[in-house]
Amino acid sequence: MHTYTKTDPLIWTGRKSGQQLYLHEKVICIDLNSEQIPSINGQSWTILGYACDEGVKRNEGRIGAALGPDAIRKQLAKLPNHLTENVLLLDTGTVDCNDGDLKKTQTVLSRTVTQLLNQNTFPILLGGGHDIAYGHYNGIKKYLATEGNNKSIGIINFDAHFDLRSNQTNNNSGTPFYQIAQDCKLEQSNFRYMCLGIREDANNSTLYDTAKDLGVTYVEKANFNLLYFDEIKEKIAQFTKEVDYIYTTIDLDGFSSAYAPGVSAASPMGFSPEIVLECLKIIIASKKMISLDIAEMNPTYDIDQQTAKLAASLVHFVIHQSQ
């Protein structure tokens, strides 16, 4: 079974201007098996898909997230392009999980993320279940190891869930940050994890205890809104100050289903896009964000492509805010 496929350029379609006014006219599709990422004297953003439902299935979630990457691509393609000429937007294909081998898929993802970072481009991963985080984080870690330094990685997760479930039975979409914490323990390194938007009705008491034991910084959904922005801003600033790099991950099921119905675990009690955008501004301004992913996009349950459009707009915001 394939674990990597090049993106069909026909997915990137939209209104034609002939002047690169839209992102589908800007993007370049690359096959990492046979093509090199172009070198450029400027920024380079790279889209990479993670078409994997296996972790969601094991976590008893709603199946369909494997279709997420292309659903987001189709909406991103239609959005206007305000990137300058010296900024590259690349699509380097998708890591697939067609045979149920989650460990292998995460290994391929990790290797691919390292490859992208080694080529001086900023990876934006589109999922797929939140098990994307374990492979993604390890790809960043391996890249920093090849650079010959011992830099620290802080994880900022926009999510309703801690995703700190024990992986004693199996690895799944609810275990990635627990797995990372256990790896940090074995390596005798610090586990630095901030979770924004946590809901009490989405995490049992054991998960809260685990978060406490692991020293997780978190903001509960009741306080994750613009009314508390000054406090949130201070917490993010302090967290980013204490690490060398930030890996940002956005789980779409953290948003209210009013904005994101197309996820594996939808709820009307989630947060709004506005608070996430304001937080992203702080993270971007820190100049420490090294990579980003968006998880749990499930087009099977989407309504009028609302969730895919939200995900695409988040990507659009990040690549333009960072100019």
What percentage of the chain carries pLDDT values higher than 90? 94
Select from 89, 88, 86, 110 the least CA-distant residue to 4: 110
Q: Which domain holds residue 234?
A: 4-321
Largest Cα separation within the chain, whole Å, is 56
pLDDT per position as a tens digit, 176-216: 999 999 999 999 999 999 999 999 999 999 999 999 999 99
pLDDT above 60 (res 1) = no
> What average pLDDT score do residues 229-236 get?
98
Euclidean distance between CA atoms 301 and 234, whole angstroms: 36
For residue 149, count CB atoms less than 10 angstroms from its CB and return exposed for 0-12, middle for 13-18, buried for 19 or more: exposed
DSSP characters over 19-41: SS-BHHHH-EE--TTT-PPPP-S
pLDDT per position as a tens digit, 250-273: 999 999 999 999 999 999 999 999
- Of 41-45, 108-112, 252-256, 275-279, least confident by mean pLDDT is 41-45
The first and second tokens of residue 28, run together, are 């370049």
- Of 38-42, 220-224, 310-314, least confident by mean pLDDT is 38-42
- In the annotated binding site, the residues are 130, 159, 161, 163, 251, 253
Look at residue 18 in the predicted model and tell me its pLDDT: 95
- In the annotated binding site for Mn(2+), the residues are 130, 159, 161, 163, 251, 253
pLDDT above 70 (res 148) = no
Look at residue 287 in the predicted model and tell me its pLDDT: 97
Neighbours of 79 (CB within 10 A): 17
Reported as a pLDDT band with limits 50, 70 and 90, residue 150 is: confident
pLDDT per position as a tens digit, 67-76: 999 999 999 9
CATH for 191: 3.40.800.10
> What average pLDDT score do residues 263-284 get?
97
> How many domains is the chain partitioned into structurally?
1
Select from 111, 7, 130, 142 the least CA-distant residue to 59: 130
